[in-house]
């Protein structure tokens, strides 16, 4: 690997500067991405290896991040479980056949990963060829709780109260569903590693919807199963949005790094994790709308506060679609210029 900064940071090695990449870096803020979006629908882009690989490397060509993340979606997991997922324009994901009962859960069967998700593995192999060992490739999955939220709710939500009601009124069915998602996710991520990804990230986008106690019960125990199953295969990054309250427990796991969002200071994130694990984050994505000079100042301040080692520079969530190209450039350049 010609540029292994990202992998070295995951191993807690001393580095000249921290590595940088951005969540959703292969996305709607790029004109080259929008050109493909206008020609092909969302899941066609996910399920066509040539398109997924091309989209993955687009931001690397433009900005030269220290890691690429495979273009895909967390909802390929419910699709593989036989749950229909539509991506509606100006609405987002829509799952018409929700999971609301024990019978619904009983009907879910684990598929053969390579049959149902083989297109992802093909996209990884193509992407690895295109990257030519310049930088590492990250594979990812949604956390079981986050996937369950979509399966029960049927769409995005501000509160996911239907998903919570399902967990609190039918805990047996909820835990069985969470376990099925977990089992498939483990098989999926192991296949991704075999196909060539150098690290994996688990996105718990809706973990912060749960109370600290319920988080341990309905989310973290399942993420931790994934970490335990993957730890001997590849480094695992766990990212729970809004889950600062769980950082102490997360730091005690075998994860290689923890993602943090912008609702916690670097100092507190280090304190809660005992400074014993690599942290990733936590620039507010909206801050990329600031002037480029201000972005550079804030990025340098952020690195100073986290420290350059055991640290991966990233946003606290995905990049917004309306971020100017020069502002994304300023973010990446700020890290590369850091000394």
Binding residues for substrate, as ranges, are 24-28, 43, 73, 150, 205, 317
Question: CA quadruple 35, 38, 41, 42: dihedral positive or negative?
Answer: positive
> Is 122 a residue of the active site?
no
> Is 297 a residue of the active site?
no
Catalytic residue among 24, 62, 155, 297: 24
> Is 24 a residue of the active site?
yes
User: Which residue in 171, 150, 22, 165 sits closest to 87, CA to CA?
Assistant: 150
Contact 21, 57 (CB under 8 A): no
- The binding site comprises 24-28, 43, 73, 150, 205, 317
Catalytic residue among 4, 73, 261, 333: 73
Question: CA quadruple 95, 101, 103, 108: dihedral positive or negative?
Answer: positive
> Is 61 a residue of the active site?
no
Catalytic residue among 37, 62, 155, 297: 37
The distance from CA 32 to its chain's CA centroid, rounded to whole angstroms, is 22
> Is 28 a residue of the active site?
yes
Catalytic residue among 63, 150, 222, 311: 150
* Catalytic residue list: 24, 28, 37, 73, 150
């Amino acid at each position: 690997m010609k540029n292994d900064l990202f992998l070295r940071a995951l191993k807690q090695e001393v580095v000249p500067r921290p590595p940088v990449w951005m969540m959703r870096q292969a996305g709607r803020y790029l004109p080259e991405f929008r050109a493909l979006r206008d020609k092909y629908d969302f899941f066609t882009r996910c399920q066509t290896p040539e398109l997924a690989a091309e989209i993955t490397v687009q931001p690397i060509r433009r900005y030269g991040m220290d890691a690429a993340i495979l273009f895909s979606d967390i909802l390929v997991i419910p699709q593989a479980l036989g749950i229909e997922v539509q991506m509606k324009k100006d609405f987002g994901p829509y799952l018409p056949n929700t999971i609301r009962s024990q019978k619904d859960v009983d009907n879910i069967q684990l598929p053969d990963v390579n049959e149902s998700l083989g297109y992802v593995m093909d996209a990884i192999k193509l992407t690895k060829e295109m990257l030519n060992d310049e930088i590492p490739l990250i594979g990812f999955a949604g956390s079981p709780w986050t996937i369950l939220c979509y399966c029960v709710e049927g769409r995005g939500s501000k509160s996911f109260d239907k998903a919570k009601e399902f967990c609190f009124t039918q805990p047996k069915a909820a835990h069985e569903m969470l376990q099925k998602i977990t089992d498939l996710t483990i098989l999926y991520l192991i296949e991704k590693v075999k196909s060539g990804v150098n690290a994996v990230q688990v996105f718990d986008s809706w973990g912060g919807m749960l109370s600290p106690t319920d988080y341990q019960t309905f989310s973290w125990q399942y993420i931790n199963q994934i970490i335990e199953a993957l730890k001997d295969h590849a480094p695992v990054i766990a990212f729970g949005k809004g889950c600062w309250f769980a950082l102490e427990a997360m730091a005690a796991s075998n994860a290689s790094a923890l993602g943090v969002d912008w609702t916690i200071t670097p100092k507190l994130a280090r304190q809660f994790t005992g400074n014993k694990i690599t942290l990733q984050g936590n620039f507010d994505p909206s801050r990329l709308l600031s002037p480029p000079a201000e972005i550079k100042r804030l990025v340098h301040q952020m690195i100073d506060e986290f420290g350059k080692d055991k640290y991966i520079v990233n946003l606290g969530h995905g990049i917004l679609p309306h971020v100017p190209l020069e502002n994304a450039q300023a973010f990446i350049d700020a890290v590369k210029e850091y000394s």
